[in-house]
Chains A and B, each alone.
Chain A
Amino acid sequence: MDITTKNIQTPPPPPQPTVAERKRNARGATRPGDRVFLGLARGSGIFLLVIMAAIAVFLTWRAAVAISKDEGNFLTTFEWNTAGTEPVFGIAVLAYGTIISSIIAMVIAVPVAVAIALFLTHYAPRKLSGPIAYVIDLLAAVPSIVYGLWGALILVPHMDGLFGWLNDYFSWTGIFDWEGGAPRSMLTVGILLAIMILPIITNVSREVFKQVPQMHEEAALALGATRWEVIRMAVLPFGRSGVISASMLGLGRALGETMAVATVLSPDFLIHGSLLNPGGGTFAQNIASKFGEADEFGRDALIASGLVLFVITLLVNGAARAIIARRKEYSGANA
């Protein structure tokens, strides 16, 4: 007994890690390779933040240079004249045109896209819906310039009939008054934008409708609901926020779309009451079509209008993200 206790030496307690060491261990970055790799990964993340900040800073800087020399009011002037010693330019017409064309696009695209999404998830024969969804997915990837070319050369000539009809029966409303001329107006732009954002809204809405819990639908069916009532009572309430955020994503696209508007619209710097008469402009279209002839100051002025577009799209996208985030919080309902 005696010997054994003497011979067994209790090993010295391991050195207690200091607070700093313990912290480092907990974060996992102890080896040099790990530290380098973490630095690279974190650096890339920070680099993205720096780019975003740089976009905001540099656009604001150039915009400030331009606006300080603007002889008119930047927000309310109906003119874009950046050449010469007394530049006068304002975004009133552009803001109006951007908002109007996007509203038209949303009014047309959202109901149709939701209907197509419902068609694919609830109405179409199973064999048909897979391939159609695939094709719509591919259509979302068609470049906007191709939509623009198609809009300018195919859609515009086909709008004559619709414009004439609207003018015949609805010119008393004021907004459907047509004085003739090529139908390169806000309505055509809105319709083309609607066609462009249709695939995106459809795709996202379809994903959301597919996630509707089977149980909700079966419960409704078991209570004797018709297919439409199932959709009204189970599918749409579940998918509402998803559809809203899908629409916001589409709206973001429509607001910033450049080439499709630049090819179709015949612009001027007036606000037209009628949607059928050519004229007006949008932020992105104005930048693309004025850029070629702009001198350095003119480019700064265009950057100023681009900054406004940037802020608007940030707000729209932020709202969409907020809705999605809120939906995530409440999605415990489908667990």
Chain B
Amino acid sequence: MSTLVQHPSSLQGARLPKWSPWAIAVGSVAVSIGLCVATGIESKIQWGLIAALLFVFGTYFIAAGVEGKRQAKDRIATSMVWVAFIIAVVPLASLVWETVKRGSKVLDGYFLSHSMGVVSDTEPGGGIYAAIIGTLEQVGIATLIAVPIGVLTAIYLVEYGRGHLARAVTFFVDVMTGIPSIVAGLFILSLLLIFDMSFSGFAGALALAILMMPVVVRSTEEMLKLVPNELREASLALGVPKWRTILKVVLPTALGGITTGVMLAVARIAGETAPVLLLVFGNPFINNNPFEGAQASLPLYIYQQYANSAGSEAAYDRAWAAALTLIAFVMILNLAARGIARWKSPKTGR
């Protein structure tokens, strides 16, 4: 305890020096290595766990002895929070790292421009061209359906909505946000069964549109609420009809935010697998017509390469490469959306 700085004033209690956490960390690692070598524990993970436990308890008792119980609790909370952060970072970092590492193995121009065709699931070769076409078409159709309905609903809620109907719509938009994607898929499937229709890209797009609508409504609603009322009032005071005010003043003002919301929604549905599995079914051949016959899709391709391959390395490589493509697509959409949000965000202090 000779390292402690003794304060002459009684108002400030004794404090551990700033470097003490590092010292305790080094000490606990050393003790844990010593312990493990002595007792013959070989797992490196257990070494780490023992070191972490030693660190936490060491910090507590040393701090409790020097600084008092309350400070010791504070230090424990700090180390717990750090530990939780590190624990959570490991799998998330591993996810990104492994996808990039394994995905880049077979990802090249050939892989992007060819389809599976007659390439069997267990042999190398083939690619994701059909899957990319399928995903783009399905997501495109879903966007065309969901965006107008979503934006109009948001306009209704913000500009017109009062009373029971608006309240009911708000509530059910919330409820719709929570629908599991597979339930949306089952709903369209039940329609297919009733009307005796078969798999198609369009059916998948309908399910994706159901998943997309509430997201678009929510984000558009938030953006419309941000449009200052003065703009509306100024326009209305000039005698502009309400609908033209909304189209020419309110929507252009909120356009950046609405675009961001739509892009985030697209990114979300582009990765949905379950409804596509039920409704589009997958197809190793190129099918450019979303209205007839089974199509391929990127997330579904990943699943089928994983599930149908019986452990073949070639199929796993393809699955990783497709996963990397999908992540890249989703991330580019996300980054672009955030870029637009920042670029178009309302400038303050004009």
Contacts and interface: CB of A to CB of B under 8 A. Distances in A.
Interface in A116-143: 116, 118-119, 123-124, 136, 138-139, 141-143
A7 B121 CA distance: 100
A106 interface: no
A152 B95 CA distance: 12
Contact of B74 (A33, A37, A47, A226): A226
B270 A143 contact: yes
Interface string A291-311: 100001001101100100110
Nearest to A47: B149
A226 to B, nearest CB: 4
A240 interface: no
B173 A141 contact: no
Contact of A123 (B82, B172, B299): B82
Contacts of A118: 81
A178 B171 CA distance: 45
Nearest to A136: B92
A55 B87 CA distance: 40
A14 interface: no
B262 interface: no
B178 A116 contact: no
Contacts of A21: none
Contact of B181 (A48, A258, A314, A316): A258
Interface size class, chain B? 35 or more
A41 B159 contact: yes
A235 B335 CA distance: 31
A36 interface: yes
Given A59-B186, A112-B84, A154 B98 contact: yes
Interface in A247-300: 249, 252, 255-259, 262-263, 284, 287-288, 291, 296, 299-300
B267 interface: yes
A306 B190 CA distance: 11
B182 A299 contact: no
Given A228-B77, A258-B180, A54 B187 contact: yes
Interface string B163-202: 0011011011111111111111011011101100000000
Contacts of B149: 44, 47-48
B186 A314 contact: no
A157 B160 CA distance: 56
B277 interface: yes
Interface string B140-164: 0000000011101101110111000
Contact of A316 (B178, B242, B247): B178
B182 A256 contact: yes
A143 B330 CA distance: 8
A36 B174 CA distance: 27
Q: How large is the interface on A (under 10, 10 to 19, 20 to 34, 35 or more residues)?
A: 35 or more
B210 interface: yes
A229 B306 CA distance: 49
Contacts of B184: 55
Contact of A288 (B174, B270, B277): B277
A134 to B, nearest CB: 8
B94 A154 contact: yes
A252 B242 contact: no
B1 interface: no
A46 interface: yes
B314 to A, nearest CB: 14
A313 B84 contact: no
A144 B268 CA distance: 10
Given A227-B74, A299-B193, A309-B183, A144 B271 contact: yes
Given A138-B334, A145-B299, A62 B155 contact: no
Contacts of A138: 331, 334-335
B73 interface: yes
Interface stretch (B52-60, B288-296, B320-328): B320-328
B277 A48 contact: no
Contact of B213 (A48, A146, A287, A296): A48
B35 interface: no
Contact of A318 (B159, B175, B272, B327): B175
Interface in B67-124: 70-71, 73-74, 76-78, 80-82, 84-85, 87-88, 91-92, 94-95, 98-99
Nearest to A289: B307
Interface string B210-244: 10011001000000000000000000000001111
B60 to A, nearest CB: 12
Nearest to B98: A154
Contact of B73 (A44, A112, A226): A226
A212 interface: no
Contacts of B286: none
Interface centre among A42, A45, A296, A321 (most CB of B within 10 A): A45
A153 interface: yes
B193 A49 contact: no
B175 A59 contact: no
Contact of A115 (B81, B91, B303): B81
A154 B91 CA distance: 10
7 contacts: A37-B242, A43-B152, A47-B149, A59-B183, A118-B81, A141-B331, A229-B74
Given A111-B84, A226-B70, 7 more contacts: A33-B244, A42-B165, A52-B176, A55-B210, A145-B326, A291-B277, A291-B278
Report the 5 A-B pairs with minimum CB-CB distance, sorted nearest first.
Answer: A143-B271, A256-B180, A115-B84, A317-B178, A37-B243
